[in-house]
Amino acid sequence: MNQWIDACATDEVDEEDLIAWEHEGRKIAIYNTEKGFFATDLMCTHEEQSLEDGLVIDCVIECPLHGGRFDICSGKALSAPVYEDLKTYPVDVRDGRVFVQVQ
């Protein structure tokens, strides 16, 4: 069953940045972008690299290891060497909290 999980406060994620969050062993990235809050898998689909130290530019995350880029909103892989999309998760913001629907 899909559940909405209270992940963090909105002010825990700086603008144009992300935090790493873990729920029941699943590693998730929570982003604060100009288009709002989003969540994707934390690990790059190219190699086992966390995106936590990656660069957020507009709605794009750039992997810190080889510079592969993903669209944060859709999870779509945008540039080599990443070809596999990131899994995304629905996000809801209520009362200053960020909720993620973990599937």
CA dist 28 and 15 (Å) reads 17
Q: How far is the CB of 96 from ligand FES (least distance, A)?
A: 32
Q: What stretch of H or E contains 28?
A: strand 26-33
3-state secondary structure of 78: strand
Min separation Cβ 42 and ligand FES, Å? 12
Least distance between ligand FES and beta carbon 49 (Å): 4
Provide CB contacts within 8 A for 96, sequence distance 6+.
Answer: 9, 10, 11
Cis previous bond, 64, omega within 30: no
Q: What is the total count of residues that contact ligand FES (CB under 6 A)?
A: 10
Q: What x-and-dash track marks residues 41-80 binding ligand FES by CB under 6 A?
A: ---x-xx-x-------------x-xx-x------------
Rounded CA gap, 13 and 39, in Å?
A: 12
- By CB under 6 A, which span of 2-10, 29-37, 40-48, 85-93 interacts with ligand FES? 40-48
Contacts to ligand FES by CB under 6 A: 44, 46-47, 49, 63, 65-66, 68, 81-82
